[in-house]
Amino acid sequence: MKRIPFIVLVNLIPLLLTAQPRLEYRGNSSARIVANGKPMLMIGGELGNSSASMPEDVKRTFSHLHKMGLNTVLVPLSWELIEAQEGTFDMSSLDVILAEARRNELKVVLLWFGAWKNSMSCYAPEWFKRNVKRFPRAHTPEGKPLEEASSLSKNVLEADKRAFCRIMEHLRDYDAQEQTVVMVQVENEIGMIEVPRDYSADATRMYQSAVPKQLTDYLKQHQKSLHPYLKEKWQPQAKADANWPQLFGDDIYAEEIFQTWTYATYVEQIAKAGRGIYNLPMYVNVALNSRGRKPGQYPSGGPLAHLIDLWHCGAPSVDVLGVDIYDKGIKSWLSKYHLPNNPLFVPEIRLEDKDAVYALYAFGHHGAMGFCPFSIEDYPLTTAARANDWKQMDLSQDDQLNAFTSVGSSRSPLVASYQLLRQAEPLILERQGTKDMDAVLLDHEQREAEIITPDGVRLTVKHSYTLGWEPGAKDAEWPETACIILRLGKEDYLVIGSGVVVTFSPAESSATWQKGDECIGLAKCEEVSIVDGKQHVVRHLNGDQTHQGRHVRIPVGVFQIQHFKLYRYSASSVS
């Protein structure tokens, strides 16, 4: 038997003692990353596509993100930089990412820009792009080749997989102990643009052939839990060897289902090979089918919610479908992708101040595993910097950070919100997937919402403008506001957020008080900060701050954590 050298065994001990990052599920629909043995929320942001292409950019950007209060950064890693010459791999760009992330106490989610990025094969190396015969493209019905690699080509798959596996080997050898990288995205916003499917000869031949038994068996086994869309499209009465149009209807939506299968099974081979080397959690992200567009107008065949069953069947090595949100209707999009079989992860969302309240809602109401605005390096630390465009002010990032305490300046909304989330992270993680946590998101249209707690308390949360006291309350449009409510114990709560007012009553009581009804009062309220899971009182609140005990309030534009306790009383308790 071949003996393993002693020095190799010594080097393996830390890896054996510390499990690699993993996904831990909480209930049926919540999950979180566990890294270095500790659960975490990905309170993060995603870099712009080219913002990690040079070492100087990475160093400057990561320092800024650390000061913003992020704990996670999503970083593109492009194939053209890793393998500029076929068969020669250069991991220096990855090494810079690892080094700077560790220096700035950031965890990393790597985004593999391999065969596809936003449908196109634009991040593939030049040697790949030029050799169309060896690495064929998808085609339109007219035979026009697209700048989109064929998802059916073995050569495309093997080249893509080889590069991806070299990355995973590098992470296994140089990051398994530190666990800087906690998750990997396979490709980026995969999907066909311009047409609903590939119309090459090989693709058309496959489209007219029998649907794979792997998929038909899955549909039968999971028919009760299938997404309603797929259940409606599927025609189970079709013959056993039915082709794609026979099984799903002869239209562009059946073509999208076919294209989805080719992408999912392609990605599975990449993800499975990579996880066989270093078993990190993996996900795919999706460009939305919004604004009334049809397949091909939006990226057809991507990991859309209505196609989730195809991805689960075709790509079981992929853990999560992540939703990229650049459209209105945040509540609807979050609900569509927070499913019993898909924990919510927002790897991209349009960068704007309102992300501050969206993050609170995603983590508190949906138990999100992560929330990451796109092009996060462009977000300023202070509102003063935003107003004057900090990039043109020639301010160092240290000067921006020091400006937090300057007269007339304050933290930018997302920075302020992230600071609260980082403080409350241990408490949120403890309550993830339980009834001891919920959140509301309010605006001019929906001005209030209710939370019924396990104590039988009705917490009515209203937009703080409903009181009419704050500047802006009479404006035609109100800013979106949000809060997380955490239950610490019996009638003992934290409210974390901005622009809300909370009142309280027994859950079983009628709208108007009747004789014998119990009342609930405010026993205590204080602004707090949280360090290592322990509260520290910043200010005791009463009088005008609680409207003489009538409510708990955090004004619009202010981000706070308040701790409040309630008590019950009734007419029978009055002497």
Would you write out the chain's pLDDT as a tens digit for each of its 575 residues?
Answer: 445 455 544 454 444 445 899 999 987 788 999 999 999 999 999 999 999 999 999 999 999 999 999 999 999 999 999 999 999 999 999 999 999 999 999 999 999 999 999 999 999 999 999 999 999 999 999 999 999 999 999 999 999 999 999 999 999 999 999 999 999 999 999 999 999 999 999 999 999 999 999 999 999 999 999 999 999 999 999 999 999 999 999 999 999 999 999 999 999 999 999 999 999 999 999 999 999 999 999 999 999 999 999 999 999 999 999 999 999 999 999 999 999 999 999 999 999 999 999 999 999 999 999 999 999 999 999 986 655 443 443 444 444 444 333 333 488 999 999 999 999 999 999 999 999 999 999 999 999 999 999 999 999 999 999 999 999 999 999 999 999 999 999 999 999 999 999 999 999 876 666 776 789 999 999 999 999 889 999 999 999 999 999 999 999 999 999 999 999 998 665 54
Contacts of 257 (CB under 8 A, 6+ apart): 230, 233, 244, 248, 307, 310
Residue 479 CA to residue 326 CA, distance in Å, equals 18
Residue 523 CA to residue 121 CA, distance in Å, equals 61
User: For residue 483, which of 354, 357, 366, 353 has the smallest C-alpha distance?
Assistant: 357
3-state secondary structure of 432: coil
- Main-chain phi, psi angles of 13, to 5 degrees: -55, -50
| Contacts by 292-296, CB closer than 8 A, 24 or more apart | 294/196, 294/252, 295/192, 295/196, 295/197, 295/252, 295/253, 295/255, 295/256, 295/259, 296/192, 296/193, 296/194, 296/195, 296/196, 296/252
* Structural domains of the chain, ranges and CATH numbers in brackets: 6-139+147-197+253-379 (3.20.20.80), 435-573 (2.60.220.20)
Q: Roughly what angle, to the nearest 10 degrees, separates helices 55-68 and 92-103?
A: 30
3-state secondary structure of 33: strand
User: For residue 528, which of 565, 491, 574 has the smallest C-alpha distance?
Assistant: 565
Q: Write out the two tokens for 52.
A: 């990690």
> CB–CB of 447/462 below 8 Å?
yes
pLDDT digits (tens, 9 = 90+) for 113-136: 999 999 999 999 999 999 999 999
Q: In what order do the strands lie in the sheet with 38-40?
A: 22-26, 30-35, 38-40
User: For residue 346, which of 363, 329, 332 has the smallest C-alpha distance?
Assistant: 363
Helix (H) or strand (E) holding 461: strand 457-463
**pTM of the full predicted structure?**
0.92
Q: What is the DSSP string of 256-285?
A: HHHHHHHHHHHHHHHHHHHHHHS---EEEE
Beta-strand pair 22-26/30-35: antiparallel
Residue 431 CA to residue 443 CA, distance in Å, equals 26
pLDDT at 393: 37
pLDDT at 385: 62
